[in-house]
Chain A
């Protein structure tokens, strides 16, 4: 266990075919499991999509969704705190020049904002973000 492992946030990635109200079906399972959604995004592929969700209780959420027949994977992402002011994202990207981001999405969490990213090499990503003076949310803090 590395000291930095606490910054690895468990994101749920859910495969979704191109059929009406698949998002609704996912949301229903989470509601019934009393799972709180902290952030999410939908990515569109060729006739299917991936729903990516951050929740307060990822293991329970995965088990519930799997039981309902969804294809669910954990993916490790990073949650970077940024200033909720103009230029907040720029200040952050300035420290991330050498990091290869696969995808990202953000949400507002006053007084801050949070950027969620999947990076190519997560260990290296954590190190260089911390070295750059950025604040990462840890999984205790986050979930």
Chain B
């Protein structure tokens, strides 16, 4: 078996001892140097001495998206500005992004995580890997890029957009591995067909590293049937680092590198661990992060965990596919969308009411998102061009706020469903 770093096959007891050592050091460092974490730990009545075994991680307080948002831009940073070498940002629920800074060591352990995953999936120096994730503040593009360069693959930083050119690159540069969202890969397949390019015969594409949106084994099969490409599931979230872990070629769970990250899968209501194999919320502690330390971050992603040693020989824990969210976040074309963002944007328009509905669907391989909102009677005045102008203005504001294509439908007041208690704003018609 080939692996990138011998630590991947370290015997479990040694690995756990290493993990405990990392955790103790992290907690000691944060308690000593981070005002934010010291206060949090004091409020929870925990000191570094309380961390004596791995399970003691559960004594530490949780961290949420709200903590990151309130910390904008760098209140939670532990590293000094001169140690920071890069910033990424993720879209926020209230328009304000959350900023993640990276030291040189942070970039190194991030790339290391991705590199190990790529090698476990069979990527190596002979490969040409095209990255079709956005490069920029979004961490998807650069995250994959650094990991792939580290293992010695040739990287084609195609980013997103211009699908026909992407296909030309795949064919002309003998691209073997593509990193994209699963729906975009299927879309590329459709465009290639229209261009008269047969992915199987005319290209060397053999592997897809796919993530940033929910998908399923059914979609994996469809990708293989249509394009002849093996598909690997990759996980990451911008608050932690962007893409971090992926499946090995066994395609049986995502390896999470325990010497870099400590994960828990918890019942979102009680905060207690769920039994092995059962669904719960993924909670992440980044053991080595320097610029923006992350302890027990509640990702909101629902998954399962297994600590059995993989058939590939790797001893690190694995998580299953992301099966949903504990909140009502949806992912549309790889972009996180919170209904609260839609609500905030709609609220700035006096012509429409407070009730709204988000309908997500898939046309061909691409996600579509429609927002339905009720017209306020006062805003109606017989003229169609006035209605059209209202519609255009609100649509524009929504697109600006969400960074994703959206169509708007203005409906009659009272026609959208009303809810007692928690509103169900999202109708997701996609089948993954």
Interface residues of A (CB under 8 A from B): 11, 13, 15-19, 43-48, 50, 52, 69-71, 73, 75, 102, 118
Q: Is the CB of A46 within 8 A of B388?
A: yes
Beyond A15-B375, A46-B391, whether A70 also contacts B412 by CB under 8 A is yes
Beyond A48-B410, A69-B413, whether A75 also contacts B380 by CB under 8 A is no
B387 at the A interface (CB under 8 A) = yes
Interface residues of B (CB under 8 A from A): 375, 377, 380-384, 387-388, 391, 409-415
A44 to B380, CA, bound (A): 15
B21 shortest CB reach to chain A, Å: 61
Residues of B within 8 A of A19 (CB): 411, 415
Q: Is the CB of B380 within 8 A of A71?
A: yes
Tell me which of A15, A16, A45, A52 contacts B388 (CB under 8 A): A45
Beyond A69-B412, A71-B412, whether A15 also contacts B380 by CB under 8 A is yes
A84 to B16, CA, bound (A): 95
A140 shortest CB reach to chain B, Å: 23
Residues of A within 8 A of B381 (CB): 13, 73, 75
A11 to B383, CA, bound (A): 13
A48 shortest CB reach to chain B, Å: 6
By beta carbon, the residue of chain A nearest B407 is A47
Tell me which of A46, A69, A70, A73 contacts B382 (CB under 8 A): A73
Residues of B within 8 A of A44 (CB): 384
Residues of A within 8 A of B384 (CB): 43-45, 50
Tell me which of B377, B382, B410 contacts A17 (CB under 8 A): B410
**3 shortest interchain CB distances as A-B pairs:** A13-B382, A75-B382, A17-B411
A95 shortest CB reach to chain B, Å: 25
Residues of A within 8 A of B413 (CB): 69, 71
A43 to B385, CA, bound (A): 11
B377 shortest CB reach to chain A, Å: 5
Residues of A within 8 A of B412 (CB): 15-17, 69-71
Q: Is the CB of A47 within 8 A of B409?
A: yes
Tell me which of B377, B383, B410, B415 contacts A47 (CB under 8 A): B410
B381 shortest CB reach to chain A, Å: 6
Sampled A-B contacts (5; CB under 8 Å): A45-B387, A46-B388, A69-B414, A71-B412, A73-B382
A143 shortest CB reach to chain B, Å: 19
A46 to B388, CA, bound (A): 7
Residues of A within 8 A of B375 (CB): 15, 71
B95 shortest CB reach to chain A, Å: 27
A44 to B384, CA, bound (A): 8
A70 to B411, CA, bound (A): 11
Q: Is the CB of B382 within 8 A of A52?
A: yes
Q: Is the CB of B383 within 8 A of A102?
A: yes
Extra 13 A-B pairs, beta carbons < 8 Å, given A15-B387, A47-B391, A50-B384: A11-B382, A13-B380, A17-B415, A43-B384, A45-B388, A46-B387, A48-B411, A52-B382, A69-B412, A71-B375, A71-B413, A73-B381, A118-B382
A6 shortest CB reach to chain B, Å: 21
A69 to B353, CA, bound (A): 14
